[in-house]
Amino acid sequence: MLTLDVKGRITVPARWRDMLVATVQGQLVVAKNPDGCLSLYPLPVWEQFETSLLSLTTEDEAWRRFFVGSATEVEIDGASRVLIPPELRSWAGLEREVKFMGVGPNFELWDMARYEAREAEVIARGRPEALRTLVIR
């Protein structure tokens, strides 16, 4: 768990910070995630995602607007922090306690209480068959 400071900054965990600074010079994009959190993308990952979004049909324009319209470039500062824009903090309910998690090629920022509630909902539904029969090789 991380703490959002009074200016809306979070400290990027060391396990990812060094890699992000070394590979993308700390350049990230933060955008809304329809699950109720924020997604934080290394810049090259965002650029690939944005290219895919821009190729969607006009039928999916609302989704393109949702992601691209909320996207904001941010950078890891010298103190290993990222400033989350106020409108995105408000939308995701980020106030104090924040969960920063890696989810494949990008990261998610969750309000801790919102994440715990979402996790409890998922667990209550039970594991899908695909996970029950998943074999790790």
Determine if residue 99 is left, alpha or beta; phi over 0 gives left, psi from -120 to 50 gives alpha, anything else beta: beta
pLDDT in tens, 5-58: 999 999 999 989 999 998 999 999 999 999 999 999 999 999 999 999 999 888
H helices of the chain, in order, are: 14-24, 43-54, 61-70, 86-92, 112-125, 129-132
Query: Which one is the CATH code of 2-132: 3.40.1550.20, 3.30.420.40, 3.30.540.10, 1.10.3470.10?
Result: 3.40.1550.20
Which has more confidence, 110 or 129? 110
Give the domain ranges of the chain: 2-132
* DSSP β-ladder status, 72-75 and 27-33: antiparallel
Q: Are 101 and 13 in contact (CB under 8 A)?
A: no
Q: Are 10 and 110 in contact (CB under 8 A)?
A: no
